[in-house]
Amino acid sequence: MKIVASYSVKGGVGKTTAAVNLAWSASREHRTLLWDLDPQGGATYLLQVKPRVRGDAHDLVRGTADLADVVRSTADKRLDVIPAHDSYRVLDLELDATKRPERQLAKMLASLAKRYDVVILDCPPGMSLLSESILTAADVVVVPLLPSPLSMRSLDQVTAMVAAMKRRRPTIVGFLSMVDRRKTIHRDLAERLPRESANVLPVVVPASAMVERMGVERAPIATFAPRSVPALAYGALWAGVSAALSR
Ligand SMILES: Nc1ncnc2c1ncn2[C@@H]1O[C@H](COP(=O)(O)OP(=O)(O)OP(=O)(O)O)[C@@H](O)[C@H]1O
Ligand SMILES: [Mg+2]
């Protein structure tokens, strides 16, 4: 079972959008689960899954509830979801109360290893014990980068966090998110970043009303606009992630 985290220290950069579209692509060829780790529940909403009542952060972390018991199916039979839960606001505190917080998420996910080939984690923004536990569990960390000079900083922050890890380190895969080709700085950075950083794929997701429509359709973009530029870009992103997973 391979674990892919959609993560950034920064908020609002396209993590949830990427997680949902990557999960859809992955599920075309693999048994796939998306775990919505953000109490905001964006991915849960986009995949039309009801928020969960049972199995709060405390029970899951302590092992009195099993992750397998809180899995829901989606409208698409090939894709399952663990919906968000309000209690994920205190996931950090729950992890902190365990012996090895940084390894706890990987431990919890181990019970799903026989059921799924790919697990996509939609992560809340920030830098916390939860992020540490996510990075430790992940094989690949997908980092959406806005085309601004500050975005390199957010990639550097993830790189530094990964470099500080003692054991297994995930592969970092950056891509450009919300690029507006009418802006010179966006065009420049979209070309430069993949050239200058080995961790950034030459995948550019344009800023597009079609992506925003996901919130109305409540579905991955490939299901309602399969030949649109952003849908093809997310397909290319999955191809890049998939290649990184098999390395
Ligand atoms: N390529 C795009 N073009 C236009 N709008 C986009 C694009 N990608 C994402 N958005 C919109 O930007 C907003 C933020 O995206 P998203 O929720 O994926 O970011 P996030 O990083 O998960 O945010 P958070 O840190 O709050 O979890 C959403 O309203 C989404 O629809
Ligand atoms: Mg999000």
How far apart are alpha carbons 209 and 143 in whole angstroms? 21
Helix (H, G, I), strand (E, B) or coil at 152: helix
- Going by CA atoms, what residue is nearest to atom 11 of ligand 1? 212
Cα(174) to centroid(ligand 2), Å: 16
Structural domain boundaries in the chain? 2-245
Global pTM reads 0.97
Q: Report which secondary-structure segment, H or E, holds 25.
A: helix 15-29
Ligand 1 atom nearest to CA at 123: 27
C-alpha distances (whole Å) from 234 to each of 16, 100, 238 are 12, 35, 6
Nearest to 17 by CA among 224, 174, 226, 211: 211
Q: Which tens digits make up the pLDDT trace of 4-62? A: 999 999 999 999 999 999 999 999 999 999 999 999 999 999 999 988 778 899 999 99
Q: Can you give the pLDDT at residue 28?
A: 97
Tell me which residue of 144, 245, 140, 142 sits closest to 204, measured CA to CA.
144
Please name the residue that has the structure tokens 């344009």: 206
The domain made up of 2-245 has a fold known as Rossmann fold (3.40.50)
Tell me the per-residue pLDDT of 83-107, one tens digit each, with 9 for 90 and over. 999 999 999 999 999 999 999 999 9
Confidence (pLDDT) at 165: 93
Q: What is the mean pLDDT of the chain?
A: 96
In angstroms, the CA 153 to CA 10 distance is 10
pLDDT at residue 210, as a whole number: 98
Closest ligand 1 atom, residue 38 Cα = 27
Ligand 1, residues at Cβ distance < 6 Å = 11-17, 38, 42, 125, 177-178, 205, 207-208, 211-212, 215, 230
